[in-house]
A and B are shown apart, each in its own frame.
Chain A
C-alpha cells in the first residue's frame, strides 16, 4: 500500500473537512433561496473521494455523477468558484450555466458533473479510450452511484472497456439508496462489485467510511489499470447523511440507521488517527477547523456577491 506521510494525514483531514463544511454551507444557502434547483450533498461520503484523491496523478481524468461538489473540491478546485456555480453566478466554473449537477474543469481534467444517471460511465470509458489512443499512461476514474448499476449503458461500457482493455477505474459509490429506493429493492444481487465478472473485470468491495481502506484499494486498483490490464471495479460502501437531494426528507430509512453510520464518521476516523499517531495536536486540529470554516464562509460570501451572468450570455457557448 501507498506509504502515507504526515502531510498526507493532514491533507486528508483538511479535504474531508472542507467538503463537509462546504456542503453544510450549501445547504444553508439553499435554505436561504440563494441556491436553486437540485442540490445533492456529499456529507458522509467524504472518505471515498478523498481516499481516491490520495492515489491520483494530476494528468489522470475524473468523471462523476451529479453529486459532484466534493469531487471538485478533492480535485483541488476553488471552493469559491464551485459555490458560485451553485448560486448561478458568472464566476462559477460553468459561468452559471451548469449549476450544481453540471460542473467541469478541463484544465484540471475534471469532466463533470453529469445529470443523467449512468451517462457518465460510457463517457468516462471514452476518456480512458483517449488516454490509450494517445499513448498516455494516465487513467480515467469513473464514479458510479449504486442507482446507476441497474442502468443498461453501464454494462455496455463495461463490455467495451474490457474488450478494448481501456485504462478506466470504475468506482461504485454505494450509499445504499438510489434516490429513495434501497439497493436491495433495486438490484437483484447485492454484490455490485461482481457485476463486471462476466466481462472479466476484477472487482472488490471496500469500507468507504474508512479512508485508509479506500486508499489501499484505490492504490492497488489504480496500479492494475495503469499497467494496461484493462478496467477494474471498486465498490465503496458508504452512506449519505442527508437525503438524496435538498428536497428529500429521507423518510424511507430509520433514524437508528443514520445514527449507526454516524458512529463511524469518516472525518472522526482520520482525526483519531492523527491524534493517536501524534501527527498534530488538538490545537493544531482546531486551527485547521477554524481556517476551513473561514475559507468556506468566504466562499459563500464570494458566491453570493458574484454577479449573475449577463443577459447576453444566454446565447453564448451553444456552438464553438
Chain B
C-alpha cells in the first residue's frame, strides 16, 4: 500500500486493474486506491507476472507499506504472508503515536474519547464519523437551510476538495453555489468579502491557511474593519476555513500556525475545533454568525473519528471553552490538535506522577473564554498552555498575561507555555518532531509548575 499523501496512514483498495497471471510492465496501472484525500490510480514500478493479489477489492484500512500484490518471475519462489508485519516507517512521525491508547489495533484511525460532559449529550450519535465528514455535513446542512450560503475556493468543486472536506457538495448544490476558483487568493478573497458586504454568506476555503497570507489584506483591512469604519452599517458574514498548522513533512512554507495572528485582530472571531463533535457545533455557529470568522482546522485531525450530535440545529456557542477533563492539581489550556497530545499527557501524568490535570479546550480563541480559564486556575493554582504556534506573542502569551493580572494571588508557580520551536518548520522527519510540541514537553512543563524534579 503506497503512501499517496503526506498524511495518509492507510488506504482502501477500491479496484484491481490487474488479475492474477497478467504480465505487467513498469508504468502499467494496477489498482485504484482511496486515500484520505482522493481516489488514485497506482502504477507498477517493477515488471513481471502478477503472482498474487493479497487483498480483495473493497477491503479498507490497509496500512501504508503493507504488501498488496506480488509481482515477479513465476519461476522464482516468493513468500509473502498477508498478515506479516511490515516496517512502520511513517508511524514514527504521527500523532497517533502519542495517543496510542485510543487507537484500535485493527484500525489505524484516531478515535476521540469525548469528555464526560459531551457523553451526557442525549443526541450523541452511536456512529463515529471523521472530522472531515462532520465539517462537510454541517456545510451541507447550512446550505440546505439558506441559499445565501455558498462555498468557494481552490478545488472545492470538481476535485471534491483538496482534503475531501467538500465532497459531494457540487453534486448536491450545483456550480452556482460550489465554485472552483483559480489559484488567486487575493482576488477571490476580496470577491468573497464584497459578496458578504452585499448580503451573501460565503464559506471560503483556503487550501491551507498558509495561502491566506496572499489575501491577508482583504481579511484584516476589509473583512474585519468595515463594520467599524461604516459606523455599523456594513457587516461581513463570511467564514474563512481550511487547515492550519503543520501537516506532515511539508516544511516551512506549508506548516505555519496562524492562530495568534488572527486572534490579534478586533472584528474577527477565531475558532479552532479539536474533535468532530465540536467541529460540527462550532462550524454551524460560524456560518450563522454575522461577523467574519476564521475557522482553523487541522489536516492531521481530518481523519479523527468521534461521535457527533446530528441535530441540524445543534451548535456550540462561539466564545465558550470546554472543560475536556476535570482535575485538581494543574490546568492545561490548549486547542486544536494539541488537545489530543494534552489528553495523552494527562493520562501519563496521572499514572507516573499522580498529578490530576484539568484540561481546557479553548474551542474559540477570539473572543477568549477567560472566565473558564481563571476559574480553573483559581482551583488548581498552576497553569500550562499548549499550542502549536510559535512562542512569541502566542495565544498562550496572552493567557499568561490575563492570568497574572487577574489571578496573581492564586498562582503557586509561574505559567509555562509549550509551543513549537522558534524557527521555521524543518523538513527532516527527525527535526520536525523536535520542532512540534510533544507529549514529553507537556509532561515536563507540568512537572515544572508542580515543582517535581
Residues on A close to B: CB < 8 A? 61, 63, 92-98, 102-106, 111-116, 119, 121-131, 133, 152-153, 155-157, 159-160, 163-164, 316-320
Contacts and interface: CB of A to CB of B under 8 A. Distances in A.
27 contacts: A95-B231, A96-B231, A106-B230, A106-B234, A111-B194, A112-B230, A116-B222, A121-B190, A122-B189, A122-B190, A123-B191, A123-B218, A126-B191, A127-B194, A129-B191, A129-B195, A129-B200, A156-B190, A157-B187, A157-B190, A159-B187, A160-B191, A317-B228, A317-B230, A317-B231, A318-B228, A320-B291
Contacts of A159: 182, 184, 187
Given A63-B194, A156-B188, A319-B291, A119 B217 contact: yes
A116 B386 CA distance: 37
A129 B176 CA distance: 11
B197 A111 contact: yes
Nearest to B185: A156
Interface in B173-201: 176, 179, 181-182, 184, 186-200
A98 to B, nearest CB: 4
Given A160-B181, A160-B187, A320-B290, A105 B233 contact: yes
A94 B230 CA distance: 4
B223 to A, nearest CB: 10
B21 interface: no
Contact of B227 (A92, A152, A318): A318
A233 B228 CA distance: 31
B194 A123 contact: yes
A317 B227 contact: yes
A160 B291 contact: no
Nearest to B269: A319
B75 interface: no
A315 B184 CA distance: 34
Interface residues of B, number: 40
A127 B218 contact: no
B198 A98 contact: no
B220 to A, nearest CB: 10
B310 to A, nearest CB: 29
A124 B192 CA distance: 10
Interface of B: 150, 176, 179, 181-182, 184, 186-200, 217-218, 221-222, 226-235, 266-267, 269, 290-291
Contacts of A119: 190, 217-218, 221-222
A318 B194 contact: no
Contact of A127 (B181, B195, B269): B195
A125 B195 CA distance: 8
Nearest to B290: A320
Nearest to A158: B187
Contact of B184 (A93, A127, A160, A320): A160
Q: Report which residue of B197, B221, B227 has the largest number of chain A beta carbons within 10 angstroms of its beta carbon.
A: B197
B269 A122 contact: no
A130 B199 CA distance: 8
Contact of A320 (B191, B199, B235): B235
A319 B197 contact: no
B193 A123 contact: yes
Contacts of A95: 231-232
Contacts of A106: 230, 233-234
